[in-house]
């Protein structure tokens, strides 16, 4: 059981920002990553459609005899995490925008959240938001188009910068001192985001906490691998020749992709 792999998935390459934290924290674990690129973006699709994709990808991963599943996508988590937890007996770990630490630590009392339209519109997200609204004003900013820029590997270009300025400027004008990255694609835009918001704004991403949560779950169930160097295998439902170069860029090492036809 210890030597079984951990499955990780996202609608595309964004989940690599989470995978990197997992690989660094748990170097003995072997990982299998799925980018559901043929169906990206999840963030502007109706919940039923996102749920259907999550079930197909998760069933594929379960068929690979994984010992734990990480939903490295805020949108997929918001829509599908309960269903996935009911469907599988293995640990299923999901993303959650870091509203709690942001609201509790903000000194200006104004917090900004960048996420997809689907995440911000979900019942799960709004339930979380309402728990912390007495601590801070929580300003929501949907970011259509950003995921596509990351999928093209355009992390520094003018179009990406202009989109970010459009989304960040109103938050800055409203006095935020803390910015929550509520989509796993956005950490790849951190250098540009930092350039735009300056050094005084606290930026919170949940990749690190999710890796630690996975570690705790594995330890609790005595599933953690403790020797050997873990492998990482990459799959995509999109056109592999297009996705491979971007994955290699973001993973900072050559990636060989397997094609997923579910």
For the annotated catalytic residues, the residue numbers are 73, 183
| Cα gap 21→72, rounded to integer Å | 11
In the stretch 119-138, what mask flags binding to ligand DGL with x, by CB under 6 A? Answer: x-------------------
Residue 10 makes contact with ligand DGL by CB under 6 A: yes
Give the span between the Cα atoms of 154 and 136, in whole angstroms.
33
Return the range that interacts with ligand DGL (CB under 6 A); candidates 35-43, 55-63, 80-88, 97-105.
Answer: 35-43
Q: Which residues contact 21 (CB under 8 A, 6 or more apart)?
A: 207, 208, 210, 211
Contact set for ligand DGL, span 159-218 (CB under 6 A):
183-185
Measured from the CB atom, is 21 or 185 closer to ligand DGL?
A: 185
Does 43 participate in binding ligand DGL (rule CB under 6 A)?
A: yes
Residue 96 near ligand DGL by CB under 6 A? no
Both tokens of 126, joined, read: 């709004």
Site size toward ligand DGL, by CB under 6 A: 16
- Cβ at position 16, least distance to ligand DGL in Å: 10
Element (DSSP H or E) covering residue 121? helix 117-121
Shortest CA distance to 182 belongs to which of 134, 127, 142?
142
CA-closest candidate to residue 157, choices 169, 175, 171, 145: 145
Q: Binding pattern to ligand DGL, positions 56-75, x when CB under 6 A?
A: -----------------xxx
Closest CB to ligand DGL: residue number:
43
- DSSP states of 123-181: HHHHHHHHHHTTTSEEEEEE-TTHHHHHHTT-SSSHHHHHHHHHHHHHHHHTT-SEEEE
Binding residues for ligand DGL restricted to 139-158, rule: CB under 6 A: 147
Per CB under 6 A, the list member of 30, 37, 106, 116 interacting with ligand DGL is 116
Residues forming contacts to ligand DGL in the complex (CB under 6 A) are 10-11, 14, 40-43, 73-75, 116, 119, 147, 183-185
């Amino acid at each position: 059981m210890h030597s079984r792999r951990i499955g990780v998935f996202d609608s595309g390459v964004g989940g690599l920002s989470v995978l990197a934290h997992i690989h660094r924290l748990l170097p003995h674990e072997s990982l299998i990553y799925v980018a559901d690129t043929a169906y990206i973006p999840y963030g502007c699709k109706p919940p039923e459609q996102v749920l259907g994709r999550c079930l197909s990808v998760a069933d594929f991963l379960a068929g690979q005899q994984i010992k734990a599943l990480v939903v490295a996508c805020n949108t997929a988590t918001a829509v599908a995490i309960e269903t996935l937890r009911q469907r599988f007996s293995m640990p299923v770990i999901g993303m959650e925008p870091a509203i709690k630490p942001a609201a509790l630590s903000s000194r200006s009392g104004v917090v900004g959240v960048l996420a997809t339209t689907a995440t911000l519109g979900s019942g799960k997200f709004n339930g979380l938001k309402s728990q912390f609204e007495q601590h801070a004003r929580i300003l929501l900013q949907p970011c259509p188009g950003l995921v596509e820029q990351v999928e093209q590997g355009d992390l520094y270009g003018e179009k990406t910068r202009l989109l970010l300025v459009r989304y960040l400027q109103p938050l800055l004008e409203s006095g935020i001192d803390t910015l929550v990255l509520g989509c796993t694609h956005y950490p790849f835009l951190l250098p540009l985001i930092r350039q735009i918001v300056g050094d005084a704004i606290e930026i919170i991403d949940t990749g690190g906490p999710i890796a630690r949560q996975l570690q705790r779950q594995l330890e609790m169930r005595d599933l953690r691998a403790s020797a050997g160097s873990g492998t990482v295998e990459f799959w995509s439902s999109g056109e592999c020749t297009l996705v491979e170069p971007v994955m290699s860029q973001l993973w900072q090492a050559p990636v060989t992709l397997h094609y997923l036809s579910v």
